[in-house]
Structure 1
Amino acid sequence: MEFRLLGPMQVEHDGGRVDLGRRRERCLLGLLLLEPGKVLLSDRLLDLLWDGEPPDTGLGQLRSNISRLRNQLRVYDGGQGAIRIRTHGTGYSVEVDPERVDVHRFKRLLTQATQASDPLTRAGLLRAALGLWHGPVMVDVMSDLLRERVAGGWEELRLTALERLAEADLLAGPARDVVTDMTELTARHPLWERFTALLMTAHFQAGNQAEASQAYHRLRDGLAGQLGLDPSAGLSELHDRILRQDPTLLTPGAGSIAASAARVDVPAQLPADVPDFTGRTDALKELDNLLTGGSRAVVVSALAGTGGVGKTALAVHWAHGVRDRFPDGQLYVNLRGYSSDPPVPAGHVLTRFLRALGVAGEQVPADGEEAAGMYRSLLAGKRILVVLDNARTADQVRPLLPGSPTCRVVITSRDRLDGLVARDGVRRLTLGVLPPDEALTLLGTLLGPERVDAEYDAAVRLGRLCGYLPLALRIAAALSTAQPGRSLARFVADLDGPGRLDALAVERDPQAAVRAAFDLSYDALEAESQRLFGCVGLVPGPDFTVPVAAALLDGTEERAERLLDRLVGAHLVEEYVPGRFALHDLLRQYAAERAGEHDEGRGPSAVV
């Protein structure tokens, strides 16, 4: 069986087309085929299939869609196992050879072409890759909104392939063919400098110096009129060389010269993605909205939450999924706002970013405001994603915000960063612990679905003991996997005790410890807030109020409310309904351990 997603969604078997019936079922299969082997949770699929507005009956419809797809594919597959749709708790994945899916063949051919040294070979591979395209991804079953959310990066890769093909053709063939192709592409993408650079060079090689110059002026006028920008220094230099009739532009290497003329250093600084990332459907949808909001101002999202809740994992995972949408680069920095090391000043980050963007070290301004101005100028008009991880304060972040609406920024912090929300228009997205079903799915991914199914009750109890905190779940899974001869039920029984925080740690890795994650948030508090945090950890019952906190402090309710707001801002305490506060299970145990550090054993008896 062959699966075609580059254009109308089609499935072929023995040279004939397979009728999969309804549009939504074909779209569902296509979504799974875009990421073979990856588990897509039901909530995520519902959100995608109904463009963010699934009906109340959506889950039942999704299950029926899956069942019908399985039955239809089984008929044509003939039991050969060419494709299987698997169920993983509350999600689904597809098992298929990627070579049977055109999008993955396209990406493989593009990679091979990049590695090929011979221009004729490279051009042949690129033509084979581009020949797989018959229109926008799944044009007959995806809405424009859905395609923008999940498949926009494939169009960017197609444009990259077209650019590399023109470059290879300039190295290997007559310039007239490149002129024809690049004229069409520059008409569709009039502000894309790399296409214009190739068109200018092709015109010059074909003996049309005047038309090469006209192509440059069309781009210059478009940039000035629409973005208020000038062409890049590299493209302007290429134009000067054409006016001088530089003979090197008539050599076989001119394609590389043209491509590099409009190409600046492209940073790709994202850390490695989390291979077994699970859940967070709503949060991923909110981040996807960064791409579709249509705002003329720079769009920034701040992920806030307690230590170990998975803010960095979510930001990096989402960034990897959309990095093809930012062909001018991705910048990343760990600001160390909550760390055993000192926070990184914004000035130091600006220096790093400017160097990553191609600025020589001696040209980086020493003055912080000048450096920030240069940074914003370099990002103007470019599609760059900036990830500012582990921020402590708004002042640490502000100089790093671009001014161009073509850029996007994601910030993570344990603080709410209220100042950025109020003054800079940052959208805040607060992460809580995982829902129980997503926690169970994550355990299935980490431990293996067979083990979780075999000891289901123990797995459910393990999720509860970990408080559904992703860091705790991952540590627990790593510890359990390291002891394959020990049953999950035995491991859970040993974990269920007063030493749970000590047990949730990986030896010789200080970052893989729940207590260490909490320590960083606690150490950032002033003494008075630390004292209140310890006291509320001893309060009996599931929650407490402002008067209870005031009694614990022997102070006024105004003072208690102010300190509670700081604890809520640090994501150590949650105000789950107005006036009522609670602690995450593991944080409650941690707070109780800290209770006696700031006064003479004050505890819950103070409330009486």
Structure 2
Amino acid sequence: MESGDRPALRVVLLGGFRLLAGDEQVTVSGGSERLLSFVALCGQAVPRTLMAGTLWPDRPERRAYSSLRSALARLEGAGRQILDVGATEVRLSQDAGVDIEEARSLARRVLDPDTPTPVRDLSADSVESLSVDLLPGWYEDWVVREAEDWHQLRLHALEALAEDFIAAGRFADAVAAAGVAVRAEPLRESSHAALIRAHLAEGNQAEALRDYERYERLLETELRLRPTPLVSDLVAGLRAVAQP
């Protein structure tokens, strides 16, 4: 989306909550942050009863519903403008932007097996969008589920993006994308495989072997496991040559 087309009001959930009005960050209370985040994550009209029960799970139904009414009434300025509040449902206003929706769409485009990744998505901006977790430090059940789903989706997308960069001969970008995935999940074998393939495609055999050996040591130390052929076969020839 071009900068001139971006909605004036925007909810940012990747890396932490922010509410933006244009380029300005709007300050809202912690309770309002959670209310806006929940609606933004749902991506559609949310029944008031569902909001009340999810955001105030320890309160009786009547009190939870009352808490929701109070929370909505306390919203003002951009926090109020970004919501369409109905008698039974609440949704984001139609012109509001949500970064996680855009990032999910990017990940799905990259992972679509039937369509080549659009050229516009082969960029450092795409790697950056896939590098950040959803609402880190928030531990409510409704956040944790969404955060884990996003974490897995972005790792798969980063690995696929690394392969796309390799195919395009953009090896530095491939190493960057795979490296982000490795740092996010150091024990994830498919991410190490993507990184090693990127090094090998660029002709950097020593770096490929070093990454494999680091992964091998980490896997042994943490889990008492050995790498599977998914990654060990990539460097089998190099290891044979390197043996004294």
Q: Is contact 2:11-2:96 (8 Å) kept?
A: no
Matched with 2:219 is 223
Whole-angstrom distance in 2 between the partners of 1:181 and 1:151: 20
Q: Which amino acid aligns with 1:13?
A: A
Alignment partner of 1:24 is 2:31: yes
The correspondence for 2:188, drawn from 186, 192, 199, is 192
Matched with 2:139 is 144
- The more displaced of 196-205 and 5-14 is 5-14
The correspondence for 2:55, drawn from 46, 49, 53, is 49
Cα deviation, 1:487-524, whole Å, max 9, x if unaligned, reads: xxxxxxxxxxxxxxxxxxxxxxxxxxxxxxxxxxxxxx
Matched with 2:101 is 104
Matches within 5 A, 1:159-198: 159-180=155-176, 182-183=178-179, 185-198=181-194
- The more displaced of 216-225 and 191-200 is 216-225
Cα deviation, 1:78-119, whole Å, max 9, x if unaligned, reads: xxxx7413342xxx4314448721111112222333445267
Q: Which amino acid aligns with 2:37?
A: G
Shift of 1:11: 2.5
Shift of 1:222: 3.2
SS of the counterpart of 1:215? helix
Cα gap change, 1:10/1:188 in structure 2, threshold over 3 Å: closer, same or farther? closer
SS of the counterpart of 2:43? coil
Q: Which has the larger radius of gyration?
A: 1
Q: Which amino acid aligns with 2:201?
A: Q
Matches within 5 A, 1:423-502: none
Q: Is contact 2:162-2:198 (8 Å) kept?
A: no
Q: Which amino acid aligns with 1:86?
A: G
TM-score (norm 1): 0.33
Whole-angstrom distance in 2 between the partners of 1:135 and 1:188: 9
SS of the counterpart of 2:16? coil
Cα deviation, 1:397-422, whole Å, max 9, x if unaligned, reads: xxxxxxxxxxxxxxxxxxxxxxxxxx
The correspondence for 2:43, drawn from 36, 45, 48, is 36
Q: Is contact 1:119-1:172 (8 Å) kept?
A: no
Matched with 2:116 is 117
Alignment partner of 1:65 is 2:46: no
Matched with 2:85 is 85
Structure 1 vs Structure 2: percent identity of aligned residues? Answer: 25
Cα gap change, 1:229/1:158 in structure 2, threshold over 3 Å: closer, same or farther? same
Shift of 1:173: 3.4
Matched with 2:11 is 3
Whole-angstrom distance in 1 between the partners of 2:119 and 2:207: 27
Matched with 2:208 is 212
Query: When the two structures are aligned, how many residues end up with a matched partner?
Result: 229
SS of the counterpart of 1:153? helix
Q: Which amino acid aligns with 1:123?
A: L
SS of the counterpart of 1:8? coil
CA RMSD of aligned residues (A): 3.5
Whole-angstrom distance in 2 between the partners of 1:40 and 1:223: 46
Cα gap change, 1:174/1:128 in structure 2, threshold over 3 Å: closer, same or farther? closer
Whole-angstrom distance in 1 between the partners of 2:128 and 2:194: 21
Shift of 1:128: 4.0
Q: Which amino acid aligns with 1:117?
A: P
Shift of 1:221: 3.6
Which structure has more relative contact order (CA 8 Å, sep 6+)? It is 2
Shift of 1:213: 2.4
Cα gap change, 1:112/1:95 in structure 2, threshold over 3 Å: closer, same or farther? same
Cα gap change, 1:235/1:110 in structure 2, threshold over 3 Å: closer, same or farther? same
Cα gap change, 1:223/1:68 in structure 2, threshold over 3 Å: closer, same or farther? same
Q: Which amino acid aligns with 1:60?
A: S
Shift of 1:130: 4.5
Matches within 5 A, 1:112-511: 112-115=109-112, 116-117=115-116, 120-124=119-123, 127-132=124-129, 135-139=132-136, 143-146=138-141, 147-180=143-176, 182-183=178-179, 185-240=181-236
